[in-house]
Structure 1
Amino acid sequence: MTATPRVLLVEDDEVIREATRMALERYGFPVDTAADGLEGLELFRARRPDLLLLDVMLPLLDGVGLCRRIREESQLPILMMSARTDPIDVVSGLEAGADDYVTKPFETAVLVARIRTVLRRTGLQAPAAAPEPPRTVREIDGLQVDTDALDVRVDGRPVPLTPTELRLLLEFTAAPGILLERQTLLERVWDYAWGADTRVVDVHVQRLRAKIGADRIETVRGFGYRLRRLRGGGT
Structure 2
Amino acid sequence: MLPPRILLLEDEPAIADTLIYALRSEGFEVEHVALARDALSAFARQAPDLAILDVGVPDGNGFDVCRVIRKTSELPLVFLTARGEEIDRVLGLELGADDYVTKPFSPREVCARVKAILRRTGAANGVAGAAPLSTAGACGVLQLDETAQRIRCSGEPLALTRYEYLLLATLLKRPQRIFSRSDLMDLVWGDAPDTSERTVDAHIKLVRAKLRVCGLDAELIQTHRNMGYSFQASAS
- Which TM-score applies when normalising by structure 2? 0.51
Asked whether the equivalents of residues 119 and 126 of structure 1 are also in contact (C-alpha less than 8 Å), the reply is no
Indicate yes or no: 2:77 matched with 1:103.
no
- Please tell me the root mean square deviation across aligned C-alpha atoms, in Å: 1.7
Indicate yes or no: 2:72 matched with 1:57.
no
Task: Report matched runs for 1:73-222 at 5 Å.
Answer: 73-125=72-124
Asked whether the equivalents of residues 80 and 100 of structure 1 are also in contact (C-alpha less than 8 Å), the reply is yes
Distance in structure 1 (CA, Å) of the matches to 2:108 and 2:91: 25
Q: Deviations over 1:18-57 (max 9, x none)?
A: 2211111111110001101111111111121110001111
3-state SS of paired residue (2:57): coil
Aligned length: 127
Q: Which residue of 2 aligns with 1:40?
A: 39
- Could you tell me how far 1:61 is from its partner in structure 2? 2.5
- Could you tell me how far 1:108 is from its partner in structure 2? 1.8
Distance 1:31 1:21, change over 3 A: same
Distance in structure 1 (CA, Å) of the matches to 2:23 and 2:4: 11
- Could you tell me how far 1:125 is from its partner in structure 2? 4.6
Paired-residue identity, %: 43
Letter of the 1:117 counterpart: A
Distance 1:14 1:77, change over 3 A: same
3-state SS of paired residue (1:98): coil
Rg (Cα) greater in structure: 1
Q: Which residue of 2 aligns with 1:15?
A: 14
Asked whether the equivalents of residues 116 and 126 of structure 1 are also in contact (C-alpha less than 8 Å), the reply is no
Distance in structure 1 (CA, Å) of the matches to 2:71 and 2:58: 21
Q: Which residue of 2 aligns with 1:72?
A: 71
3-state SS of paired residue (2:72): coil
Asked whether the equivalents of residues 7 and 51 of structure 1 are also in contact (C-alpha less than 8 Å), the reply is yes
Q: Deviations over 1:89-116 (max 9, x none)?
A: 1111111111111111111221111101
Q: Which runs of 5+ in 1 are unaligned?
A: 129-235
Asked whether the equivalents of residues 90 and 101 of structure 1 are also in contact (C-alpha less than 8 Å), the reply is yes
Q: Deviations over 1:171-229 (max 9, x none)?
A: xxxxxxxxxxxxxxxxxxxxxxxxxxxxxxxxxxxxxxxxxxxxxxxxxxxxxxxxxxx
- Could you tell me how far 1:62 is from its partner in structure 2? 0.8
Distance 1:3 1:124, change over 3 A: farther
Letter of the 2:119 counterpart: R
3-state SS of paired residue (1:124): coil
Distance in structure 2 (CA, Å) of the matches to 1:58 and 1:124: 26
